[in-house]
């Protein structure tokens, strides 16, 4: 079974104590995330990921009066504004050769990825990496035929990790050519915004067939 690593939002604003939307427990989790990134590069395994990429007037932010498409108003502080220090990935989670996929649909998105790229990151404005209109097509191109294992890690458990794992599980279900594939969330390489939210997210993921593993068991 081919393994693909999925690095979710390991960015300064989430993972550093001075970050705008710091997730408690993230520094400990990121240390494990960095080891998983290094392992993916050493194995030559596909490494995918996501990065929150906002404009200054994002509807998630408490600093404006905009709401989401379904009336959402989470009132988050401004965070991961593209081009700021808070948007950057934390040390150890970015290999030497990487490519960011913008939130702009391209029919040839997979073909745009340069040869020799070690990691592909999908920019997104909401929780799921599949909110990037190119994500499914790139994944179709990157994932080899047959059963694959998605190893998911990053932050935050109760938001973007949950959304990524559920999205990947749905991607598998919709592709008979990848029967037997699985999604595994690395429990010592994630951190939640709240303890209750983290527990609820893990329970939901387990109920959806997502496996909960440790980095030592991989």
One digit per residue, pLDDT tens: the chain, 218 residues? 999 999 999 999 999 999 999 999 999 999 999 999 999 999 999 999 999 999 898 888 888 888 867 777 788 889 999 999 999 999 999 999 999 999 999 999 999 999 999 999 999 999 999 999 999 999 999 998 899 999 999 999 999 999 999 999 999 999 999 999 999 999 999 999 999 999 999 999 999 999 999 999 99
| CATH placement of domain 2-217 | 3.40.50.850
> Are the beta carbons of 78 and 53 closer than 8 angstroms?
no
Question: Count of H helices and E strands in the chain?
Answer: 5, 7
Could you identify the residue written with the tokens 């040390």?
91
**Confidence at residue 49, expressed as pLDDT on a 0 to 100 scale:** 97
Which residues, listed in sequence order, are joined to residue 155 by a DSSP beta bridge? 191
What span, in angstroms and rounded, lies between the C-alpha atoms of 73 and 17?
25
Burial 95-107 (b: 16+ CB within 10 A, else e): eeebeebebeeee
Instruction: Strand 148-155: give its sheet, edge to edge.
Output: 98-101, 119-124, 47-52, 2-8, 148-155, 182-191, 211-213
- CA dihedral of 113, 159, 31, 103, whole degrees rounded to 10: 20
Q: Which helix (H) or strand (E) holds 17?
A: none
| N residues, the chain | 218
Q: Which helix (H) or strand (E) holds 150?
A: strand 148-155
What span, in angstroms and rounded, lies between the C-alpha atoms of 29 and 214?
11
**Confidence at residue 206, expressed as pLDDT on a 0 to 100 scale:** 98
**Confidence at residue 59, expressed as pLDDT on a 0 to 100 scale:** 84
> Which tokens hold the place of 184?
């595994």
> Which tokens hold the place of 74?
């989470």
**Confidence at residue 100, expressed as pLDDT on a 0 to 100 scale:** 97
Residue 73: alpha-carbon gap to chain centroid: 22
Burial 145-165 (b: 16+ CB within 10 A, else e): eeebbbbbbbbbbbbbbbbbb
Task: Give the CA radius of gyration of the chain.
Answer: 16
Backbone angles phi, psi at 132, to 5 degrees: -75, 125
**Confidence at residue 8, expressed as pLDDT on a 0 to 100 scale:** 98
> Which tokens hold the place of 201?
């997210």
**Confidence at residue 85, expressed as pLDDT on a 0 to 100 scale:** 97
Query: Any idea where the domains of the chain sit in the sequence?
Result: 2-217
């Amino acid at each position: 079974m081919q393994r693909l690593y999925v690095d979710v939002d390991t960015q300064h604003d989430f993972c550093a104590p001075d970050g705008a939307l710091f997730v408690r427990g993230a520094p400990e989790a990121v240390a494990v995330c960095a080891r998983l990134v290094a392992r993916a590069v050493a194995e030559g395994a596909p490494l995918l990921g996501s990065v929150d990429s906002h404009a200054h007037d994002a509807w998630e932010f408490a600093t404006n009066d905009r709401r989401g498409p379904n009336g959402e108003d989470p009132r988050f502080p401004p965070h991961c504004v593209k081009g700021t220090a808070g948007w950057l990935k934390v040390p150890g989670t970015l290999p030497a050769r990487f490519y960011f996929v913008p939130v702009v649909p391209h029919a040839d998105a997979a073909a745009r990825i340069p040869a020799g790229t070690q990691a592909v990151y999908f920019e997104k404005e909401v929780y799921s990496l599949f909110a990037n209109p190119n994500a499914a097509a790139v994944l179709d191109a990157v994932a080899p035929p047959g059963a694959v294992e998605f190893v998911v890690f990053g932050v935050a458990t109760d938001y973007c990790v949950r959304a990524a794992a559920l999205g990947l599980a749905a991607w598998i279900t919709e592709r008979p050519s990848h029967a037997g594939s699985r999604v595994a969330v690395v429990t010592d390489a994630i951190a939640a915004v709240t303890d209750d939210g983290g527990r609820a997210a893990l329970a939901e993921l387990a109920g959806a067939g997502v496996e909960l593993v440790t980095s030592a068991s991989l």
